[in-house]
């Protein structure tokens, strides 16, 4: 069976489902936004001047883009961003950076949410014998989030050195897990980052559109992740 984005009534016979993370499994952006706001307040207290969340985020992204930090954990990357922000202020770095990262970590953990449809959907897919792999540009502690038990592996841009929507991200996923494109399905919340590039390398692509904001008859769209198991035939 050849993947065809227009055949919305078909069921997919696949062995591997690749899952986007932020916006699909976890609300990482929401948690990161809350953590950045908390971090900015604490950083401003130490700096003696207002440090905007946007400034911290810009520094974090600059750190993430550097080869020396690209493969590091988000915690290490953020600690470096805070260090660079506070260094010009002449404060006692070690103690202040620890205080900022502590409040950031606590806020992130308290606000990170798994979407309500995730557990049921992933359990159903695992019960069907489907191999689930988190495929994302974002890194996360899946065990801490409570969904690690469903995942066979991860395919994360910061660790493999290439990010979505580059075709090589998807090609490497197929190579790493020895799966044919016609046996692989990518599901995510973005057409440009998840669905189209996956289809370009021969995979199936399904858009998770919880808010029903996308109206494109050329793609297969689901309104909840719990709809996905019904699209997949048992092997």
What pTM does this model have? 0.79
Owning domain of residue 80? 29-111
CB 135 within 8 A of CB 155: yes
Residues 143 and 97 in one domain: no
What is the per-residue pLDDT for 3? Answer: 42
Distance from C-alpha of 4 to C-alpha of 182, rounded to nearest angstrom? 10
Ranges of H-type helices in the chain? 28-47, 53-65, 74-86, 93-111, 118-127, 142-145, 157-160, 167-176, 196-200, 228-231
> Which of residues 88, 111, 134 is at a domain's end?
111
Q: What is the mean pLDDT of residues 87-108?
A: 85
Please state, for a pLDDT cut of 90, what percent of the chain lies above it. 59
What is the per-residue pLDDT for 9? Answer: 52
Q: Which of 169, 142, 184 has the alpha carbon at shortest distance from 28?
A: 142
Q: Provide the pLDDT confidence category of residue 234 given band limits of 50, 70 and 90.
A: low
Q: Residue 87's CB: how many other CB atoms inside 10 A?
A: 11
Distance from C-alpha of 72 to C-alpha of 199, rounded to nearest angstrom? 30
Mean of all residue pLDDT scores within the chain: 89
11 located within any domain: no
Residues 119 and 222 in one domain: yes
Tell me the CATH number at 174. Answer: 3.40.50.1000
pLDDT in tens, 164-213: 999 999 999 999 999 999 999 999 999 999 999 999 999 999 999 999 88
Q: What is the mean pLDDT of residues 112-125?
A: 96
Run of H or E including 133: strand 131-136
Domain count along the chain:
2
Higher pLDDT, 117 or 213: 117
Q: Which of 103, 175, 115, 100 has the alpha carbon at shortest distance from 145?
A: 115
Distance from C-alpha of 145 to C-alpha of 161, rounded to nearest angstrom? 24
- Residue 168, CA atoms < 13 Å, CB-side half-sphere: 5
Residues 71 and 126 in one domain: no
Residues 97 and 119 in one domain: no
CB 233 within 8 A of CB 13: yes
Q: Which of 35, 22, 140 has the alpha carbon at shortest distance from 82?
A: 35
pLDDT in tens, 135-153: 998 878 899 899 999 999 9
Residues 157 and 103 in one domain: no
172 located within any domain: yes
The yes-or-no verdict on residue 69 having pLDDT over 50 is yes
Residues 22 and 133 in one domain: yes
Residue 220, beta-bridge partner list:
206
Q: Residue 157's CB: how many other CB atoms inside 10 A?
A: 17
What is the per-residue pLDDT for 6? Answer: 41
Q: Which two tokens stand for residue 215?
A: 């109206």
| CA-to-CA dists, residue 195 to 66, 172, 183, 202, angstroms | 28, 16, 15, 11
175 located within any domain: yes
What is the per-residue pLDDT for 1? Answer: 34
> Which of residues 62, 94, 111 is at a domain's end?
111
The yes-or-no verdict on residue 218 having pLDDT over 80 is yes
* DSSP code for 218: T
């Amino acid at each position: 069976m050849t993947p065809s984005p227009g055949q919305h009534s078909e069921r997919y016979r696949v062995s591997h489902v690749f899952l986007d993370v932020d916006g699909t499994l976890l609300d990482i952006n929401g948690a990161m936004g809350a953590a950045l706001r908390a971090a900015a307040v604490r950083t401003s207290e130490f700096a003696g001047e207002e440090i905007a969340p946007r400034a911290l985020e810009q520094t974090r992204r600059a750190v993430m883009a550097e080869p020396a930090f690209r493969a590091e954990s988000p915690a290490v990357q953020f600690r470096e961003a805070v260090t660079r922000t506070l260094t010009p202020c002449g404060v006692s770095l070690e103690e202040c950076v620890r205080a900022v990262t502590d409040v950031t970590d606590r806020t992130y953990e308290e606000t990170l949410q798994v979407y309500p449809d995730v557990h049921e959907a992933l359990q159903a897919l695992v019960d069907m014998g489907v191999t689930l792999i988190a495929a994302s540009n974002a890194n996360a502690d899946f065990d801490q989030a409570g969904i690690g038990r469903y995942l066979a592996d991860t395919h994360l841009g910061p660790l493999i050195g290439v990010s979505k929507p580059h075709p090589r991200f998807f090609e490497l996923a197929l190579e790493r897990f020895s799966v044919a494109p016609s046996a692989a399905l990518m599901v995510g919340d973005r057409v440009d980052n998840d669905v189209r590039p996956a289809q370009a390398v021969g995979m199936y692509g399904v858009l998770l559109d919880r808010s029903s904001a996308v109206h494109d008859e050329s793609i297969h769209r689901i309104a909840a992740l719990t709809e996905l198991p019904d699209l997949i035939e048992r092997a």
